[in-house]
Amino acid sequence: MVTEWQREAERALNRRDFRLAHELCLKILATDARHADALFLLGMIAAEHDNYGKAVDVIDRALAIDPHKAEYLAHRGRCLIALQRPREAFEAARAALSLEPRDALTLDTIGVVMTRAGAHADAIEPFRRAVARDAAKPAYRYNLGAALQFVGDLRSAEAEYREALRLEPQFHRAWSSLAQVARAALTPAQVAALERALEDPSLDADAELHLCHALAKQHEDEGRYETAFRMLERGKRRKAAALAYRFEGDRDLFAAAARIPAALEGRAARGHDSREPIFVLGMPRTGTTLVERILSSHPSVFSAGELTNFGLMLKRAARTPSNRVLDAETLAAGAQVDPDALGRAYVDSTRPRTGQTARFIDKMPLNFFYAPLILRALPNAKIVCLRRNPLDTCLSNYRQLFATSFSYYNYSYDLLDTGRYYAEFAALTKLWRENLPENYLEIRYEDVVDETEREARRLLEFCELPWDARCLDFQDNKAPVATASSVQVRQPIYRTAVERWRHYERELGPLRSLLAAEGVL
């Protein structure tokens, strides 16, 4: 009877009949209080209701009874990612993989957890094994393709994206991903099919956004810039309308960040003395990945990727009540946080992926909001801030399809909001230049392109690293890249992105006027 109750509970959970699944699990546990699968199912029900803390607690009870279930560990990792505990999530995923799971869903879950913990190279093995177990599942193909893209195997990534689309032509994310990994990737028949799909009134805003980005990239690759821009406008406009974004929220963030130096005056507490972290930051699409590639080509430097860890550690230390990691309230509370404890917590949170080299890079662009707090908590850290031509910066942000679930880049759905964001960023970084004389360096993207060796030597000297010629061959760097530049940085230095805005000069007229009025053009 218990076995049949369990099967019925699993079927109920799969069809999202949570009430019945819950009742059946309780019946099982009334008969056998140590029934691990029933506890695990209760954990899954809690996770489906976004109660991830409870889910972890219940799954831990199941693991105490049966510690050798890879499925339990994989979903424990998924819940820990939702709780913004990436270190523990990665360790759970790694433990799950060590148990040699055989079912495709568990393997795919392990890969997803590793990816979200920043361990993109590690994720390839479970994703490959998931595809081997169930080659007809387009989502498994897509996840493997994304991991292959991040490690630079673009041809294999393209093949996986194409296979996902063969299996499911309505897999809209795969169209925009395919367009990114290959130049003019779409056939005329595919272009026509996507254009027909855009006429479907049932198409949701996210699907339209992905299709429009795929078509915009295709038109741009073919030199049809006006058509490309119209496609971008169409996809962005509908998505922007679906969001509750207002630029005033971002303006409040910048204002709170600008008050940090004054709040820190007279506070002499010393931070953690680690010399490991190098923060590469700035607005997205300004060369942060290029600089990270140059630096991480040095044998003493490990690239940890775009970590949210500093913001998470600050949020936990500040104990502000909002449900957002980065907000004005948390920035304002940052001056009261114990800097030594914050610095130690940050470095510890990057383990076990860091610690094997003298330095590691954290390339989260949004860390520019925290610059004074970073150097207070980690006075021996280095901060490299990227700057780029204002028009190219704004256009590149507008052209980019950022993760739709990441609200901090919602300004990019409107070209003029992107311009306003840039103006605030320019004012804030001017304040950093004036208030952070040590361990803070600004680098211009155009200078890195035009004088690569000179700027590479400047970067290494600033980071107190000896010269290594391998830093000039950054395109050979095998470390994963999980950013919008994952394709471009696999190539040698090129100048085609410099003054790209000129292809769109007419379309950018209103943006130029706004930037000129803000005094940044």
Ordered DSSP codes for 187-240: -HHHHHHHHHHTT-TT--HHHHHHHHHHHHHHHHHTT-HHHHHHHHHHHHHHHH
Residues 6+ apart with CB under 8 A from 146: 115, 157, 177
Residues 5-35 pLDDT 10s: 889 889 999 999 999 999 999 999 999 999 9
Of 225-229, 264-268, 327-331, 454-458, the range with the lowest mean pLDDT is 264-268
Distances (CA, A) of 397 to 231, 317, 362: 15, 32, 20
Predicted pLDDT of residue 479:
63
Closest listed residue to residue 136, CA positions, set 113, 166, 107, 108: 166
Q: Are 178 and 171 in contact (CB under 8 A)?
A: no
Q: CATH code for 252-517?
A: 3.40.50.300
Report how far Cα 284 is from the mean position of its chain's Cα atoms: 11
pLDDT band at 474 (very low <50, low <70, confident <90, very high): confident
Does 188 sit behind a cis peptide bond, omega within 30 degrees of 0 on the bond before it? no
Q: Is the pLDDT of residue 299 over 50?
A: yes
Residues 170-218 pLDDT 10s: 999 999 999 999 999 999 999 999 999 999 999 999 999 999 999 999 9
Predicted pLDDT of residue 480:
60
Predicted pLDDT of residue 266:
81
Closest listed residue to residue 498, CA positions, set 384, 364, 395: 395
pLDDT band at 494 (very low <50, low <70, confident <90, very high): low
pLDDT band at 324 (very low <50, low <70, confident <90, very high): very high
How far apart CA 171 and CA 197 sit, in angstroms, is 12
Residues 152-177 pLDDT 10s: 899 999 999 999 999 999 999 999 99
How far apart CA 48 and CA 521 sit, in angstroms, is 49
Q: Are 459 and 443 in contact (CB under 8 A)?
A: yes
Read off the tokens for 516.
Answer: 């000129």
User: How many residues in total does the chain contain?
Assistant: 521
The domain spans of the chain are: 169-242, 252-517
Predicted pLDDT of residue 490:
46
C-alpha torsion sign, points 153, 156, 160, 161: positive
Closest listed residue to residue 477, CA positions, set 305, 361, 303: 303
Predicted pLDDT of residue 5:
85
Burial 352-386 (b: 16+ CB within 10 A, else e): ebbeeeebbbbbbbbbbbbbbbbbbbbbbbbbbbb
Predicted pLDDT of residue 128:
97
Alpha-helical runs (H) found in 259-409: 260-264, 288-296, 309-318, 328-333, 339-349, 371-377, 390-399
- Backbone φ and ψ for 238, nearest 5 degrees, come out as -70, -40
pLDDT band at 406 (very low <50, low <70, confident <90, very high): confident
> End-to-end distance of the chain based on CA atoms, in angstroms?
74
pLDDT band at 97 (very low <50, low <70, confident <90, very high): very high
Residues 505-514 pLDDT 10s: 999 999 999 9
Closest listed residue to residue 521, CA positions, set 396, 414, 423, 385: 423
User: What is the chain's mean pLDDT, rounded?
Assistant: 93
Percent pLDDT > 70 in the chain is: 96
Closest listed residue to residue 123, CA positions, set 371, 464, 480, 447: 480
Percent pLDDT > 90 in the chain is: 85
Predicted pLDDT of residue 68:
95
Average pLDDT in the 317-346 region? Answer: 96
